[in-house]
């Protein structure tokens, strides 16, 4: 059965189909052969025994009934000579016909010996009646017909035919017995073979079914694993390895999607471009490894500062981060930007060579607007970049926000000391 497991699903199904067809063909062939056997048996019983018995009975009745009574009546002069002639002729024709038919059935050699004897007796008896016919034909009176000779002739043939009849009845009994026995035997064999074929087919079916089921389970398991692996791969391809924040690739995908969504619902969309101040000096002062550690700490602060499910924090590259907010108006966006500049300083990452603070600080360029169909995604980014440049230019450690994408206007600039710059 190992070969079944090795088959492909299509081949397994074909094998299943082949097996069922084979089972049906075997049952069909067997059924046909058994029905033929039964037909032969019934034929043998009917034509070999029952029909001969009927024929012999009919001959016997013609001799004993019709001919015997007719001659009795003729002797008494009750019926006319022509009637007697006609009855004898018809009866003898009938007897001959039936006797020939009886002989034509299948007989054994042993039977044939007795039938030859019976044949002679019948010819002899018929000869007697033909003689009577001759008398009638020649106009002789039948009143002198010997009743004794008539009775003896009929009695003799009666004995011969009765013996034959008894024999045929015995054969019929025997044939019937044989038929019943064969019938029982055939039914037993059919039952046995059918059970064997059905059990065999079912066993293989079960095996094939199990094998298909196993294949299916394996396939499902593999599909599940593949799905998980794909998800992991997707996560990996969308995650920045150093900070575990979303990467630039994911930003491209999400930014486009969120802006489109905001355009459809005509709601606020806010974008912050965040850059670490004097990070080159940081690296120069503390080394690249410490620089990486600082990037991780900044990422942690960013994550903690934007917790809503609809807030997205990205590392866009180097020491630059992006923050995307939905449904947040300008005052709330400005508040969040200010809190971020404060949160980073609260972590107190020492930066002794910074020109603005003894700790690490951030500059943020912010854009907040209500999305409409005319909104150009690229403009949001370039305006945020401009605002970031403004924040750097005006002293760092601050955010600059605008709500106007076209007029190049700044809504407000705010430094870390909460001092608003006009
Ligand atoms: P500014 O205040 O104008 O932003 O000055 P800056 O020094 O921060 O900006 P600049 O663009 O001159 O330098 C950015 C530095 O960030 C340069 C590079 O060494 C550092 N940097 C970029 N990516 C990484 C990183 O993955 N790890 C580390 N440790 N440093 C990085
Ligand atoms: Mg930079
Ligand atoms: Mg920088």
Kindly state if the Cβ of 318 falls inside 6 Å of ligand 1: yes
Domain that holds residue 20: 2-212
In a domain, 228, yes or no: no
Q: Whose CA is nearest to atom 15 of ligand 1?
A: 280
CATH code of the domain covering residue 163:
1.20.120.1730
In a domain, 226, yes or no: no
Q: Are 272 and 399 in the same domain?
A: yes
CATH code of the domain covering residue 276:
3.30.70.270
Q: Whose CA is nearest to atom 24 of ligand 1?
A: 318
pTM score of the predicted model = 0.57
Q: In what order do the strands lie in the sheet with 398-402?
A: 312-317, 320-326, 268-276, 362-370, 398-402, 412-415, 420-421
314 within 8 A of 325, measured Cβ to Cβ: no
pLDDT band at 421 (very low <50, low <70, confident <90, very high): very low
Kindly state if the Cβ of 276 falls inside 6 Å of ligand 1: yes
Instruction: Tell me what pLDDT residue 419 has.
Output: 35
Nearest bound ligand to CA 392?
A: 1
Can you give the three-state secondary structure of 72-135, one letter per residue?
HHHHCCCCCHHHHHHHHHHHHHHHHHHHHHHHHCCCCHHHHHHHHHHHHHHHHHHHHHHHHHHH
Closest ligand 1 atom to residue 294 Cα is 29
Q: Are 6 and 128 in the same domain?
A: yes
pLDDT band at 329 (very low <50, low <70, confident <90, very high): very high
Instruction: Tell me what pLDDT residue 411 has.
Output: 56
Residue 392 C-alpha to ligand 1 middle, in angstroms?
14
Kindly state if the Cβ of 288 falls inside 6 Å of ligand 1: yes
Instruction: Tell me what pLDDT residue 413 has.
Output: 57
Q: Whose CA is nearest to atom 13 of ligand 1?
A: 280
Higher pLDDT, 372 or 270: 270
Residue 246 C-alpha to ligand 1 middle, in angstroms?
19
Closest ligand 1 atom to residue 242 Cα is 26
Q: What's the distance, Cα to Cα, between the start and end of the chain in Å?
A: 87
When pLDDT is averaged across residues 164-174 and rounded to a whole number, the result is 86
CA pair distance 198, 90, nearest whole angstrom: 61
pLDDT digits (tens, 9 = 90+) for 53-76: 899 999 999 999 999 999 999 888
Catalytic center residues: 319
Kindly state if the Cβ of 296 falls inside 6 Å of ligand 1: no
In a domain, 221, yes or no: no
Q: Are 376 and 238 in the same domain?
A: yes
Q: Are 173 and 242 in the same domain?
A: no
In a domain, 127, yes or no: yes
Residue 274 C-alpha to ligand 3 middle, in angstroms?
9
In a domain, 225, yes or no: no
Closest ligand 1 atom to residue 392 Cα is 3
Q: Are 177 and 240 in the same domain?
A: no
CA pair distance 255, 377, nearest whole angstrom: 8
Higher pLDDT, 142 or 227: 227
Nearest bound ligand to CA 318?
A: 1
Q: Are 191 and 244 in the same domain?
A: no
Sole residue written with tokens 């960013």: 302
pLDDT band at 361 (very low <50, low <70, confident <90, very high): very high
Ligand 2 ion local residues (Cβ < 5 A): 275
Kindly state if the Cβ of 280 falls inside 6 Å of ligand 1: yes
pLDDT digits (tens, 9 = 90+) for 97-147: 999 998 887 777 878 888 999 999 999 999 999 999 999 899 888 888 888
Q: Whose CA is nearest to atom 18 of ligand 1?
A: 280
In a domain, 271, yes or no: yes
Residue 164 C-alpha to ligand 2 middle, in angstroms?
128
Closest ligand 1 atom to residue 292 Cα is 29
When pLDDT is averaged across residues 82-110 and rounded to a whole number, the result is 90
Domain count, the chain: 2
């Amino acid at each position: 059965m190992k070969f079944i497991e090795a088959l492909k699903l299509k081949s397994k199904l074909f094998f299943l189909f082949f097996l069922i067809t084979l089972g049906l063909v075997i049952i069909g062939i067997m059924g046909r052969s058994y029905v033929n056997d039964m037909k032969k048996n019934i034929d043998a019983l009917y034509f070999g025994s029952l029909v001969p018995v009927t024929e012999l009975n009919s001959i016997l009745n013609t001799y004993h009934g019709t001919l015997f009574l007719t001659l009795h009546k003729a002797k008494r002069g009750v019926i006319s000579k022509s009637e007697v002639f006609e009855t004898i002729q018809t009866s003898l024709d009938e007897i001959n016909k039936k006797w020939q038919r009886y002989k034509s059935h299948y007989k054994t050699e042993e039977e044939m010996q007795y039938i030859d004897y019976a044949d002679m007796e019948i010819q002899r008896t018929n000869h007697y009646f033909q003689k009577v016919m001759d008398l009638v034909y020649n106009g002789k009176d039948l009143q002198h017909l010997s009743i004794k000779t008539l009775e003896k002739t009929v009695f003799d043939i009666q004995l011969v035919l009765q013996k034959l009849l008894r024999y045929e009845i015995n054969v019929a009994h025997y044939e019937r017995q044989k038929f019943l026995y064969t019938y029982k035997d055939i039914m037993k064999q059919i039952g046995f073979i059918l059970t064997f074929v059905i059990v065999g087919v079912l066993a293989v079916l079960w095996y094939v079914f199990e094998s298909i089921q196993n294949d299916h389970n394996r396939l499902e398991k593999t599909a599940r694993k593949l799905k998980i692996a794909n998800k992991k791969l997707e996560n990996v391809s969308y995650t920045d390895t150093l900070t575990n924040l979303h990467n630039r690739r994911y930003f491209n995908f999400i930014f486009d999607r969120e802006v489109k969504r905001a355009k459809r619902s005509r709601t606020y969309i806010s974008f912050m471009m965040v850059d670490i101040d004097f990070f080159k000096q940081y690296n120069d002062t503390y080394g690249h490894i410490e620089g990486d550690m600082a990037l991780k700490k900044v990422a942690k602060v960013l994550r903690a500062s934007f917790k809503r499910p609809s807030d997205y924090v990205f590392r866009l590259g180097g020491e630059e981060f992006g923050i995307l907010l939905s449904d947040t108006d300008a005052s709330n966006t400005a508040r969040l930007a200010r809190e971020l500049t404060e949160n980073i300083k609260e972590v107190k990452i020492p930066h002794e060579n910074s020109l603005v603070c003894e700790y690490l600080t951030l500059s943020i360029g912010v854009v907040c607007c209500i999305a409409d169909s005319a909104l150009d995604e690229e403009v949001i980014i370039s305006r945020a970049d401009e605002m970031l440049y403004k924040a750097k230019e005006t002293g760092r450690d601050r955010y600059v926000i605008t709500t106007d994408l076209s007029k190049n206007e700044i809504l407000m600039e705010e430094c870390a000391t909460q001092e608003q710059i006009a």
